[in-house]
């Protein structure tokens, strides 16, 4: 069923829209926020949120790098999208692999939430003030290699699970602190839990961190037009550069890589990092160029890191 042109405040409207998402509290919160914007724009549209359990949700006790990476959080949702079971999928952009399945596209990119990582610590201390040997929970190779570079004495302990699960484990004494994405904490309304917002200069975020992805099937121009009001051009250009970086490296969650692009006027600054698989060494680089050449900048940054020693890691 396509979008129909109607007179009145609805403008372009589809009678029904099925949105596919994971069932975690954060995924549902993010999806409901987008659904509310759609409902406000198209009051007559019937919106249904379809919860889909993914492989990443089922295999909770195994490190992501060992079971196929972050694509496991979206695989079943994309299959439902391709099958026509849902019309729109909403993901965290950082969960999206560098390459999309044939037939799917990123239809809209809303404005980015805070891209930084945060520390939530039991004693209310920042990273520099944590006691020697403090136990920090994170399941991210990207965070591990940067934490090791910053504080080699810290004991980094693997942790998986939803945000509320991680916070509960920290509060019950399993960890002295956990490092998670600021965006999820802020979207859940839990800002008071944060001990420290970690500067991107100190810990580069994951590709696409803080960004939501609205994914659709290719060829539904009417649906694309209906979602266009949610598009943020600046965020699109930034994340396009970051994903070009990831695509050139050929990596995902199984590799400790990071990239963060910031649009500054007509220019785009992109910083990147690649770490060794033993989590002990990292290489950083940055480039600046025209914001209209986001793909070229991301690709060039990846090449610079590879040529600067990163190829040995990969």
Element (H, E) at 313: helix 311-313
Question: Is 95 an annotated catalytic residue?
Answer: yes
Query: What sign has the CA pseudo-torsion 210, 214, 218, 219?
Result: negative
270 is written with which tokens?
Answer: 């992109």
Selecting among 87, 95, 117, 176, the annotated active-site residue is: 95
Phi, then psi, of 275 in degrees rounded to 5 = -120, 165
Phi, then psi, of 82 in degrees rounded to 5 = -65, -35
Contacts of 271 (CB under 8 A, 6+ apart): 200, 204, 259, 260, 261, 284, 285, 286
CA-closest candidate to residue 63, choices 11, 139, 150 = 139
Element (H, E) at 285: strand 282-290
21 is written with which tokens?
Answer: 């998402």
For the chain, the helix, strand and coil percentages under 3-state DSSP, each to the nearest 5: 40, 25, 35
N residues, the chain: 314
What is the Cα–Cα distance from 277 to 80, expressed in whole angstroms?
34
116 is written with which tokens?
Answer: 């930084």
What is the Cα–Cα distance from 220 to 15, expressed in whole angstroms?
15
What is the Cα–Cα distance from 273 to 301, expressed in whole angstroms?
9
Task: Reduce the DSSP state of residue 234 to 3 states and report it.
Answer: helix
CA-closest candidate to residue 211, choices 110, 295, 142 = 110
59 is written with which tokens?
Answer: 């295999």
14 is written with which tokens?
Answer: 């589809």
Catalytic residues: 95
């Amino acid at each position: 069923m396509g979008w129909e042109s109607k007179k009145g405040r609805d403008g372009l409207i589809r009678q029904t829209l099925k949105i596919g998402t994971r069932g975690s509290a954060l995924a549902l919160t993010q999806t409901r926020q987008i659904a509310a914007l759609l409902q406000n724009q198209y009051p007559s549209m019937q919106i249904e949120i379809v919860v889909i359990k993914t492989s990443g949700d089922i295999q909770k006790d195994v490190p992501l790098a060992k079971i196929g990476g972050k694509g496991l959080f979206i695989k079943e949702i994309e299959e439902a999208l391709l099958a026509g079971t849902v019309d729109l999928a909403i993901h965290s952009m950082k969960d999206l692999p560098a390459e999309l399945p044939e037939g799917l596209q990123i239809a809209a990119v809303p404005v980015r939430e805070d891209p930084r990582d945060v520390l939530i610590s039991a004693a209310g201390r920042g990273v520099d003030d944590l006691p020697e040997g403090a136990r920090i929970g994170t399941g991210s190779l990207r965070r591990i290699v940067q934490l090791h570079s910053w504080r080699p004495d810290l004991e980094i302990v693997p942790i998986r699970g939803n945000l509320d699960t991680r916070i509960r484990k920290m509060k019950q004494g399993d960890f002295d602190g956990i490092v998670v994405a600021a965006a999820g904490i802020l979207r859940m309304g839990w800002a008071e839990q944060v001990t420290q917002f970690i500067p991107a200069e100190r810990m580069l975020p994951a590709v696409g961190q803080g960004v939501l992805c609205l994914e659709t099937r290719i060829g539904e121009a009417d649906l694309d037009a209906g979602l266009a009001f949610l598009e943020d051009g600046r965020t699109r250009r930034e994340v396009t550069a970051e994903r070009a970086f990831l695509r050139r490296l050929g990596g995902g969650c199984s590799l400790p890589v990071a990239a963060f692009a910031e649009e500054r006027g007509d220019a785009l600054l992109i910083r990147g990092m690649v770490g060794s698989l033993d989590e002990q060494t990292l290489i950083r680089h940055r480039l600046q160029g025209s914001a209209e050449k986001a793909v070229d900048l991301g690709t060039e940054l990846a090449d610079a890191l590879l040529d600067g020693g990163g190829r040995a890691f990969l």
